[in-house]
């Protein structure tokens, strides 16, 4: 199963190509490799990432054709005649973003962190956590596995771990880009801008970095090592370098004020986010916030729906934290077909999903909050579940669009 449909290049103008597939035309940047009119290509996140042999492309397109239109039909039926908040948000998603859904892989390569964020289980002062780091060959092996499984977009995430200095990170990104046709995101926290510049030059094209909360006082309380101002400046500077930005916030942080969630959504949009990533705060026993509560699933679905209504063009992620809340929801009203909340999130306006591709022996140790969804789920099984879920909702796991940068 491919997570992208090959398109045919119709036109190239400066660094942008017009690509056609099944009659639809979309634009994507061409700066990761040479391309000519008539080539078949894969694109992710608005970047062309790989040429495909014409014979192979035609075979894939033949396989996809019937399914492609069938999925669109299902999606349209499910968004007909919207009545409530969720249905309206889903209809807006359908109208502006179609039925495509990003399916990115996430590789957590280190759980060391120099910070002491009050909410986070991998904070420096959690001495009970077994720490791990993947060395470069292990990272490449994990990426190789992910690529074999079909991923075309990967996020490399870690705590803020200075062991991976700029040279090491650059080697990792360059090696991956030299070997694999993937759109690469990094999620490594607050590093100097020059490091981000070097990683861009090595071939990374996206950064996942949340601002966590738009409330400056709350930010300083829960992230004592940094300020909101510095984090936001970094996000803006990173975007200026040309990166796609995935950013967002925690919902239900203890101390959150009325109106913060709305301000968080607005701030995410104002940062030019390619993808919105916001998840529920989940308390971890080894943190100062261990006794606080989590928001409930309804709050999460409402936040997704509001974010969608306010940002028709956004990609909105179903986060693992939301799926964790869903997995652990024991309320008698729990809908047995809710799929850990992913189905309802997708029906409330979300249109992106991440699948954990970290080697299984390390996943449990990336313990940012307890009982994370997917820590013991075989990646291929998880992929199958996601594909099944997406197909039942008429969504196609494709991704081809130009960001608004
Ligand atoms: N070091 C990078 C950074 O600072 O952006 C990435 C790693 S950090 C652990 C990834 C995300 O985990 C954070 O942005 C935060 O929102 C989320 N996170 C941490 N602790 C959490 C908790 N208790 N509940 C929900 N999400 C949490």
Q: What is the pLDDT of residues 128-185, one digit of tens each?
A: 999 999 999 999 999 999 999 989 999 999 999 999 999 999 999 999 999 999 999 9
Average of pLDDT values for 288-309? 95
**Each residue of 365-388: pLDDT tens digit?**
999 999 999 999 999 999 989 988
Structure tokens belonging to residue 132:
């791990």
Which pLDDT score, from 0 to 100, does residue 247 have? 98
CA 283 to ligand 1: nearest atom: 23
Query: What's the gap in Å between 342 CA and the centre of ligand 1?
Result: 19
- The C-alpha atoms of residue 67 and residue 79 are separated, in whole angstroms, by 18
Please answer whether residues 118 and 289 qualify as being in contact, where contact means their C-beta atoms are separated by less than 8 angstroms.
yes
Which pLDDT score, from 0 to 100, does residue 45 have? 81
pLDDT category, 335, cuts 50, 70, 90? low
**Each residue of 277-291: pLDDT tens digit?**
999 999 999 999 999
Q: Is 109 exposed, middle or buried (0-12, 13-18, 19+ CB in 10 A)?
A: buried
Residue 262 has pLDDT above 50, yes or no: yes
Residues in the chain, total? 405
Percent of the chain exceeding pLDDT 90 equals 78
CA 284 to ligand 1: nearest atom: 23
Which pLDDT score, from 0 to 100, does residue 100 have? 87
Instruction: Return the number of other C-beta atoms located less than 10 Å from residue 150's C-beta.
Output: 16
**Which of 368, 369, 370 to mutate to test ligand 1, by most ligand atoms within 8 A of the CB atom?**
368
Report the chain's mean pLDDT, rounded to a whole number. 92
For residue 118, give every residue at least 6 positions away whose Cβ sits within 8 Å of its Cβ, in sequence order, or none: 221, 222, 223, 224, 287, 288, 289
Taking Cα atoms as reference points, which of 170, 159, 106 lies closest to residue 132? 159
Structure tokens belonging to residue 175:
């090696």
**What is the residue whose two structure tokens read 């029906």?**
347
Instruction: Return the number of other C-beta atoms located less than 10 Å from residue 49's C-beta.
Output: 24
pLDDT category, 403, cuts 50, 70, 90? very low
Which pLDDT score, from 0 to 100, does residue 405 have? 28
Report the nearest-CA residue for atom 12 of ligand 1.
368
Beta strands in 57-125 (DSSP E): 102-110
Residue 333 has pLDDT above 60, yes or no: no
Query: What's the gap in Å between 370 CA and the centre of ligand 1?
Result: 12
Which pLDDT score, from 0 to 100, does residue 354 have? 93
Q: Is 226 exposed, middle or buried (0-12, 13-18, 19+ CB in 10 A)?
A: middle
Paired sense of beta strands 183-187 and 206-208, if any: parallel
Which pLDDT score, from 0 to 100, does residue 287 have? 98
Structure tokens belonging to residue 105:
């892989």
Paired sense of beta strands 40-44 and 47-52, if any: antiparallel
Average of pLDDT values for 18-26? 88
160 vs 22, higher pLDDT: 160
Which pLDDT score, from 0 to 100, does residue 404 have? 27
Element (H, E) at 75: helix 54-78
Distances (CA, A) of 164 to 13, 23, 41, 51, 111: 38, 45, 33, 31, 12
pLDDT category, 222, cuts 50, 70, 90? very high
CA 120 to ligand 1: nearest atom: 20
Q: Ligand 1: list residues with CB < 6 Å.
A: 119-120, 122, 157, 159-160, 187-189, 209-210, 212, 250, 279, 281-282, 284, 321, 368-369
Which residues, in sequence order, are bridge partners of residue 17? 12, 28
Report the nearest-CA residue for atom 2 of ligand 1.
189
Query: What's the gap in Å between 36 CA and the centre of ligand 1?
Result: 41
**Which of 161, 222, 250, 367 to mutate to test ligand 1, by most ligand atoms within 8 A of the CB atom?**
250
Please answer whether residues 10 and 20 qualify as being in contact, where contact means their C-beta atoms are separated by less than 8 angstroms.
yes
Distances (CA, A) of 41 to 62, 101, 106, 201, 382: 15, 18, 23, 22, 26
Taking Cα atoms as reference points, which of 141, 28, 10 lies closest to residue 398? 28
Residue 94 has pLDDT above 50, yes or no: yes
Which pLDDT score, from 0 to 100, does residue 327 have? 82
Which pLDDT score, from 0 to 100, does residue 24 have? 84
Query: What's the gap in Å between 77 CA and the centre of ligand 1?
Result: 37
Per 3-state DSSP, the chain is made up of helix, strand and coil in percentages (nearest 5) of 40, 20, 45
Residue 220 has pLDDT above 50, yes or no: yes
Average of pLDDT values for 28-40? 89
- The C-alpha atoms of residue 292 and residue 284 are separated, in whole angstroms, by 9
Residue 351 has pLDDT above 70, yes or no: yes
Residue 202 has pLDDT above 60, yes or no: yes
Please answer whether residues 386 and 343 qualify as being in contact, where contact means their C-beta atoms are separated by less than 8 angstroms.
no
Query: What's the gap in Å between 287 CA and the centre of ligand 1?
Result: 13
Q: Which of 62-71, 113-122, 333-342 has the highest mean pLDDT?
A: 113-122
Please answer whether residues 25 and 18 qualify as being in contact, where contact means their C-beta atoms are separated by less than 8 angstroms.
yes
Query: What's the gap in Å between 271 CA and the centre of ligand 1?
Result: 19
Give buried/exposed letters for 331-366 (b at 16+ CB in 10 A, else e). eeeeeeeebbbbbbbbbbbbbbbbbbbbbeebbebb
Query: What's the gap in Å between 368 CA and the centre of ligand 1?
Result: 6
Which pLDDT score, from 0 to 100, does residue 367 have? 98
CA 190 to ligand 1: nearest atom: 4
**Which of 210, 213, 251 to mutate to test ligand 1, by most ligand atoms within 8 A of the CB atom?**
210
218 vs 2, higher pLDDT: 218
Please answer whether residues 156 and 208 qualify as being in contact, where contact means their C-beta atoms are separated by less than 8 angstroms.
no
Query: What's the gap in Å between 150 CA and the centre of ligand 1?
Result: 26
Beta strands in 39-197 (DSSP E): 40-44, 47-52, 102-110, 153-158, 183-187
pTM, rounded to two decimals: 0.94
Which pLDDT score, from 0 to 100, does residue 276 have? 98
Measured in degrees and rounded to the nearest 5, phi and psi for residue 344 equal -70, -35
């Amino acid at each position: 199963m491919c997570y992208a449909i090959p398109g045919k290049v119709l036109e190239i103008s400066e660094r942008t190509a017009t690509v056609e597939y099944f009659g639809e035309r979309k634009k994507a940047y061409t700066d990761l490799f040479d391309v000519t009119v008539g080539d078949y290509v894969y694109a992710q996140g608005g970047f062309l990432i790989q040429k495909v042999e014409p014979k192979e492309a035609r075979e894939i397109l033949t396989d996809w054709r019937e399914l492609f239109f069938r999925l669109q039909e299902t999606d349209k039926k499910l968004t007909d005649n919207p009545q409530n908040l969720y249905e309206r948000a889903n209809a807006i998603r359908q109208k502006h973003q179609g039925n495509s859904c990003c399916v990115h892989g996430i590789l957590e390569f280190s759980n060391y962190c120099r910070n002491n964020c009050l909410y986070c289980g991998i904070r420096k002062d959690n001495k009970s956590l077994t720490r791990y780091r993947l060395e470069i060959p292990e990272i490449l092996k994990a990426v190789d596995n992910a690529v074999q499984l079909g991923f075309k977009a990967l996020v490399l995430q870690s705590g803020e771990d200075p062991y991976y200095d700029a040279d090491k990170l650059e080697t990792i990104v360059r090696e991956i880009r030299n070997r694999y046709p993937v759109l690469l995101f990094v999620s490594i926290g607050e590093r100097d801008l020059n490091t981000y510049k070097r990683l861009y030059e090595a071939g990374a094209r996206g950064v996942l970095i949340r601002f966590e909360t738009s409330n400056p006082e709350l930010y300083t309380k829960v992230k004592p090592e940094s300020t909101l101002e510095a984090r936001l400046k970094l996000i803006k500077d990173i975007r200026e370098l040309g990166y796609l930005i995935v950013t967002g916030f925690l919902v239900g942080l203890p101390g959150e004020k009325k109106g913060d969630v709305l301000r968080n959504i607005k701030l995410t949009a104002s940062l030019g986010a390619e993808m919105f990533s916001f998840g529920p705060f989940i308390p971890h026993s080894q943190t100062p916030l261990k006794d606080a509560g989590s928001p409930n699933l309804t709050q999460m679905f409402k936040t997704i729906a509001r974010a969608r209504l306010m940002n028709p063009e956004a990609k909105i992620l179903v986060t693992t934290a939301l799926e964790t809340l869903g997995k652990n929801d024991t309320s008698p009203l729990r809908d047995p077909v809710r799929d850990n909340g992913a189905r309802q999130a997708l029906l409330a306006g979300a249109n992106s999903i991440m699948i954990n591709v970290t080697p299984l022996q390390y996943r449990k140790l990336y313990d940012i909050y307890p009982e994370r969804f997917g820590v013991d789920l075989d990646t291929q099984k998880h992929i199958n579940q996601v594909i099944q879920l997406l197909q039942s909702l008429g969504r196609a796991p494709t991704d081809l669009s130009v960001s608004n940068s």
